[in-house]
Amino acid sequence: MVVDTLPPAALFHLGYNLPRDLQFITCSFRSVKYVILCGSMSRASTIASTYASLSHPERSKRAQQEDFCKTDRYSLYQPAPEVLVASHGIGLGSADIVLHELTSMLRAAKPGCAADAFCFIRCGSSGGISVPAGSLVVSTGVLNGAAEPLLRTTVLGLPVARAASLCPVLTGRLLAHAEAIAGDWPVVAGKTLCCDTFYAGQARLDGAYGDEEYGDRERRDFLKLCRDSHGVANFEMESLALGAFCQRAGGIPCAVVCAVLVDRLGEGGVDAPTAERSQLLRWEERPVRVVCSFVYESLHGCSSSIEDIDDLESK
Ligand code: R2B
């Protein structure tokens, strides 16, 4: 197969190749300590711009424009020498690919580095379980669709269960920071249930089949079971890939902070966000502000000018 002839570090989806691009990768990325991850490519650009404006306002435009991903699969920005912002797409498979390639790239740039030489923080969106829209959830653990802290996959045709966990130290620091800057945004610590699929995997009733195997009562019972028996605060689709990858790759610190766009056990029992697009964007901005200011303050040991960031909430 073609894939066998590629060197192990052909970073196919980022568009780099090792050793061909080693010098560029080393020069560009050897100082990276934080990788901020998000779903969409345009969001990665926005996050990079937000981060750049914290320290070097003049750099924000450039950070937004220079995409270091050399394919159209993902986006990769570097708003500061120590910070990368990458998109991971939707779902476990897409996130797993970029995690492999970013990690290979950073380990090549930092030969012999310790597992904690850099960390990953996912900044995402999610559906809350009795958590109101507009809240921030800082994940304390990640579960699969059967509420196990395991990523179940197949390797060589055989089932494999990879343990998935987040870094408690990084998570605790992010939670404290979120609570300190949140103002009146609710901040919740809880487990995140990560599903393989958006519709049936998350007990939605608004998919295309029209005759799901379950009804509204079963849907609500499942969501309540997740909440009451497993401590689930929100549902999304990538955190398990992050928790399992980082553990399997030797203990890379990782954490997850998500905006809640809909309370799936709220009044009306709706499955999809109903707020105006502009409101959803303001809610999605919240984890960005928390993560960017957290990274800045961790790197510089001083408060960021988070108040000076163009505040979408006031527009
Ligand atoms: C949250 O939102 C996306 C699906 O709409 C998915 O990436 C996720 O985890």
Atom of ligand 1 nearest to the CA of 89: 7
3-state secondary structure of 92: helix
Residue type, 143: L
* Ligand 1 centroid to residue 47 C-alpha, Å: 17
Pocket perturbation via mutation, ligand 1, pick of 237, 262, 280 by most ligand atoms within 8 A of CB: 237
Question: Which tokens is 39 given?
Answer: 């779903």
How do residues 239-263 score in pLDDT, each as one tens digit? 999 999 999 999 999 999 999 999 9
In this model, does residue 89 exceed pLDDT 60? yes
Q: What is the pTM of this model?
A: 0.94
Question: Which tokens is 290 given?
Answer: 């928390």
Separation CA 292–CA 303 (nearest Å)? 11
* Ligand 1 centroid to residue 90 C-alpha, Å: 6
In this model, does residue 314 exceed pLDDT 60? no
In this model, does residue 3 exceed pLDDT 60? no
3-state secondary structure of 234: strand
The DSSP call for residue 301 is S
Return the H-helix or E-strand segment holding 138: strand 136-143
Nearest Cα neighbor of 150 from 53, 247, 82, 83 is 247
Pocket perturbation via mutation, ligand 1, pick of 40, 41, 42, 90 by most ligand atoms within 8 A of CB: 90
Among protein residues, the one whose CA lies closest to atom 3 of ligand 1: 90
Separation CA 15–CA 298 (nearest Å)? 30
In this model, does residue 313 exceed pLDDT 90? no
Return the H-helix or E-strand segment holding 276: none
* Ligand 1 centroid to residue 195 C-alpha, Å: 10
Under 8 Å between Cβ of 217 and 168? no
